[in-house]
Amino acid sequence: MNLKISALEFIEEAKNGNISVEEFVSTTLERINSVDDKLHAFLSVNDSAIEQARNIDKKIKSGEDVGDCFGMPISIKDNMCIKDSKTTCASKMLENFIAPYDATVISKLKKQDAIFIGKVNMDEFAMGLTTEFSAFGPSKNPWNIEHVPGGSSGGSAVSVSSYECIASLGSDTGGSVRNPASFCSTVGYKPTYGLISRFGLISYANSIEQIGPLTRTVKDTAFMLNLIAGVDPNDNTTVNNNNEDYLENIDSGIEGKKIGIVTEMIGDGIDPEVMTATKEAISKLEGLGAICEEVSLEMVKYSVAAYYTITATEAGSNLARYDNLRYGYEMPVEGYEFNSYISKARKNFGPEVTRRMIIGGFVPSAGHAGKYFLKAMKVKSKLTKEINEAFKKFDLLVAPTVPILPFKIGEKIDDPVSLFLVDINTVAANLTGKPAISIPFKIVNGLPIGIQLMANSMNDKMLLQAAHALEKTVTLPEVPL
C-alpha cells in the first residue's frame, strides 16, 4: 500500500473504494513501528485506530454519510487536548494528565471522521526551536537523523515527512510550525491570528500563537483549513472568516502580484546555500508573473528580543496553573506547606522552561517592566504599523523560512541567543498576527530549505494561492527513509 500520497489523493481513493481505510491505517501503523524508533516523532499511538478505520470502511460501503476526512490518519502535537487521552506537552509536569474535554479543532476533525493516529513530540510546553527540549527525548530529522527536525512542532513535521501519517496539527508561536516544516521539507502554515480556535490548545503565549496544519501539499493545507477555521464561541479571540473556501480557485496563480523581499530577513548570518535558494525562489515567483522588490522592515531587528520578552511573560503566567494540585504527576501533599510544595513540584519543569519562567517573572516585574516588557509591546505595535505600511504597497512578503540549514543535534543547545536568532524570519508574523506559510523549496546536501510567504491579515486565501503556485515550480527528491 502506497503511503506516499497527499490527503486529497487519499480521500479520493478511499471515497471510491479503491483503498481500504483499515489497510491504509494498518500500513501506517507498521510504518510507525518500523521507523519511529529512529525518529522518535510519536509520544503515544492510538490503539483504537484500526477499529475506527474499520468502522469508516463500513460506513463507506453501506453508503452512509462519511465525514470529509474519510479516516485519514492525522498526528496531533501533544499540546492539544483529546478527551480521555494523555496530553503531556512533552513535559514531566503533565505526564499523568488526561484531558477531560476535546479541543475545538479536535471536535471538528472528529466530526469529519479523521483518525488521530497518535500524539507527537514537541519542545516542552512549545518552548524551543529544535524539539531537543522535550522531556522525553528529541525527535530526529528524517532527511538526516543527526540533524534537528526543527521545533517546537518537530514531531508533527517528522511524522508527515516520513509518511507516518498524512497530515499533522502543530502550533506556531514564533515559527514553531513553519520552522520544522522548513527543516523537514513539508508545508507548514500559520493562519491569521484568530482564524483557528485555540480552545483546548495548552497555552504558551496566548496573544500570538495559532494552531497550524503541516501537510505534504499546499492544497492539503487549504483542505484542513476549511475544516478547522472559523469563529468559535469558546475562544473570544477568534474572528469570523465568513465560511471562506480556501480550496476554491487555489490555482489562480500570482500574475501581477507585488512581492516584497524583506531585507532584514536575508541579512548577515544567512547561510550561502539558503541565500542561493532564496534568489532561485524569487526568480520562480517572477517567472509566475509576480513583481519582486526589496522592502525594509526596521523593527525585524528587534523582533526576536521583543518576541522572547513577551512570550516569556505570557508563559510565566500561563504555566502558573501547573502547581500539581489538580493534575500533573504523582506527588502527595502531606508534610508540605503550600509554597514549599508547589516550588518543589514545579522543579519537574525542564531547564529551558524553567529559564523562560524566570525570565517571564523578571521582565514584567515592577522594577523592570518599563525597560523590557512595555518596550517589547511597543516594538510589537511599531512592527505591526511597519508591516501594514508594507502591505499597502505589496500583496505578499517573501524570505527564507530559516536563515540557516538544519543544524546538528546538540549544536546550538548551549548557546541561547544563537538559538533565538534562528527565529528571526518567523516571529514577525506572530507578533503582527499575519498569516505565513513555509513551502518546501530545495534540498541542498541532503538538507531541506523552505521559503516563507506572508500576507496581510485575513488574506489567507490569497496566500495559499501564491504558495500553491510556488510549490508547483519545484519537484523535490523523496525523503531517504
Catalytic residues: 77, 152, 176
Q: In the Cβ-directed half-sphere of 143, how many Cα atoms lie within 13 Å?
A: 31
Q: Which three cell numbers stand for residue 88?
A: 503531556
Binding mask 202-221 for another protein (x = CB under 8 A): xx-xxxx-------------
Question: Phi/psi at 441 (nearest 5 deg)?
Answer: -120, -40
Decide if residue 321 touches another protein (CB under 8 A). yes
Decide if residue 465 touches another protein (CB under 8 A). no
Q: Candidates 34-42, 64-72, 78-86, 144-152 — which segment interacts with another protein by CB under 8 A?
A: 78-86
**CA 273 and chain centroid, separation:** 24
Decide if residue 382 touches another protein (CB under 8 A). yes
Question: Phi/psi at 353 (nearest 5 deg)?
Answer: -60, -45
Decide if residue 268 touches another protein (CB under 8 A). no
Among 230, 260, 316, 350, binds another protein (CB under 8 A): 316
CB of 461: closest distance to another protein in angstroms?
Answer: 21
Which residues, numbered 89-108, are part of the site for another protein (CB under 8 A)? 89, 94, 97-101, 103
- Give Cβ neighbours of residue 265 (< 8 Å, ≥ 6 apart): 300, 399, 400, 403, 424, 425
Q: Candidates 29-37, 249-257, 330-338, 448-456 — which segment interacts with another protein by CB under 8 A?
A: 330-338
Taking the least distance from each CB to another protein, the nearer of 136 and 336 is: 336
**CA 52 and chain centroid, separation:** 26
CB of 154: closest distance to another protein in angstroms?
Answer: 20
| CA–CA gap between residue 201 and residue 89 (Å, rounded) | 10
Taking the least distance from each CB to another protein, the nearer of 63 and 100 is: 100
Decide if residue 235 touches another protein (CB under 8 A). yes
| CA–CA gap between residue 218 and residue 473 (Å, rounded) | 13
| CA–CA gap between residue 128 and residue 80 (Å, rounded) | 17
Give residue 179's identity as a one-letter amino acid code: N
| CA–CA gap between residue 228 and residue 70 (Å, rounded) | 16
Decide if residue 269 touches another protein (CB under 8 A). no
Q: Candidates 5-13, 37-45, 49-57, 332-340 — which segment interacts with another protein by CB under 8 A?
A: 332-340
Q: Candidates 32-40, 67-75, 191-199, 466-474 — which segment interacts with another protein by CB under 8 A?
A: 191-199
Preceding peptide of 152 cis, ω within 30°: yes
Decide if residue 59 touches another protein (CB under 8 A). no
How far is the CA of 35 from the CAs of 28, 30, 41, 358, in angstroms?
Answer: 11, 9, 9, 38
Task: Yes or no: say if 383 and 428 are a contact pair by the CB < 8 Å rule.
Answer: yes
Decide if residue 349 touches another protein (CB under 8 A). yes
Q: Which three cell numbers stand for residue 201?
A: 490548545
Which residues, numbered 415-434, are part of the site for another protein (CB under 8 A)? 416-417, 420, 433
Taking the least distance from each CB to another protein, the nearer of 200 and 450 is: 200
Decide if residue 343 touches another protein (CB under 8 A). yes
Decide if residue 337 touches another protein (CB under 8 A). yes
Q: Candidates 70-78, 262-270, 316-324, 444-452 — which segment interacts with another protein by CB under 8 A?
A: 316-324
Burial of residue 480 (CB within 10 Å: 0-12, 13-18, 19+) is exposed
